[in-house]
Amino acid sequence: MEKVSNEVQMESIKSFQSTISKCENALAQMTQKDANTTIIMKRLKALHIGLALLEHVWNQRPHHYTQEDVAEARHVLTGLFPSIKNSYAKSKAGSPQKTLLERRMKSLELAVQAIDDLSNEE
């Protein structure tokens, strides 16, 4: 996995925590409206796994996810890139939204790298 500064590590972890919080709020709203929550639940699980693996690599925290869970998380996380890149392209230069999306993309890229590295070790 590429070496990143402590600052990037902190930003990536905060980005994951923020994204998880947004997904949890969306899930709560969707549940109240009795909407289909399958996709949001898959995303939420993948985000939790991505965060856990970043913390595993950077802070040596153990994780309890199976290889199958990790592989599914990789698929879900990489599936988020097109919509994030689309939003990024539409956002204004220098805007807080653009910065947030840059950090989100970076954190997802790092999580996918962590998953790939873990898969190559096993």
Q: Residue length, the chain?
A: 122
pLDDT tens digits for range 63-77 = 999 999 999 999 999
- With beta carbons less than 8 A apart as the criterion, state whether 81 and 111 touch: no
Q: Which CATH number fits domain 6-121: 2.40.50, 1.20.120, 3.90.1010, 2.60.120?
A: 1.20.120
In the chain, domain spans: 6-121
Structure tokens at 60: 């040596």
pLDDT tens digits for range 54-104 = 999 999 999 999 999 999 999 999 999 999 999 999 999 999 999 999 999
Nearest Cα neighbor of 100 from 14, 42, 20 is 14
